Amino acid sequence: MSLLSILGVALALSMDAFAVSVGLSLSREGLRGARALRLAGLFGLFQFAMPIAGWAAGRTVVNLIAAYDHWLAAALLVFVGGKMIVESFHKEEHMEKKTADVTRGFPLLLLSVATSLDALAVGLSFGALRVPILLPAAVIGVVCFTVTMTGARIGPLLGKLAGEWAEIAGGVVLLAIAAKILVEHLK
């Protein structure tokens, strides 16, 4: 498999991570510094590890989750997006208590899994094609990291345009990604 093909796959797999990073950074003063690095780092790590896991797991494990992986990814995105929208309507309470940092802990883990499930299937297909997995996985991880950092930088610019609707817009972006995943898998 050529490097150009691998880059194309990596960019395609990174689009959900890009959209999530833009959505999350809309409602904040951006995801800067450590927060952006945590988000991009874990997204990149999961995008690196999932193809390897898919490649190593073989058809049995992937076939076990293939029937519902899209439901799982959509549910995780709906949970985080819905939470953002609900919190936007409770701004006073939301401002009084410290806002949970979605770039830490369980929310970050949920988003990392949700944005990388497709990479598991890609790993399986690379195994079927007898493509060595380490170079493609590394390229996928690095591209995802870069694309996520880019999304975190673009988000605040779009957030300024959205004004006080930014948090709702971020939640809607995550809900739209969930809907897209379901529509694509229900065809």
> pLDDT, tens digit, for every residue of 114-154?
888 888 878 887 876 677 899 999 999 999 999 999 999 98
Per the structure, the complete domain to which residue 167 belongs is given by 3-186
Q: How many domains does the chain have?
A: 1
Give the pTM. Answer: 0.73
> Do residues 136 and 4 touch, judged by C-beta distance below 8 A?
no
For the chain, residues with pLDDT lower than 70 are 27-30, 58-66, 91-100, 128-129, 162-164, 166-167, 170
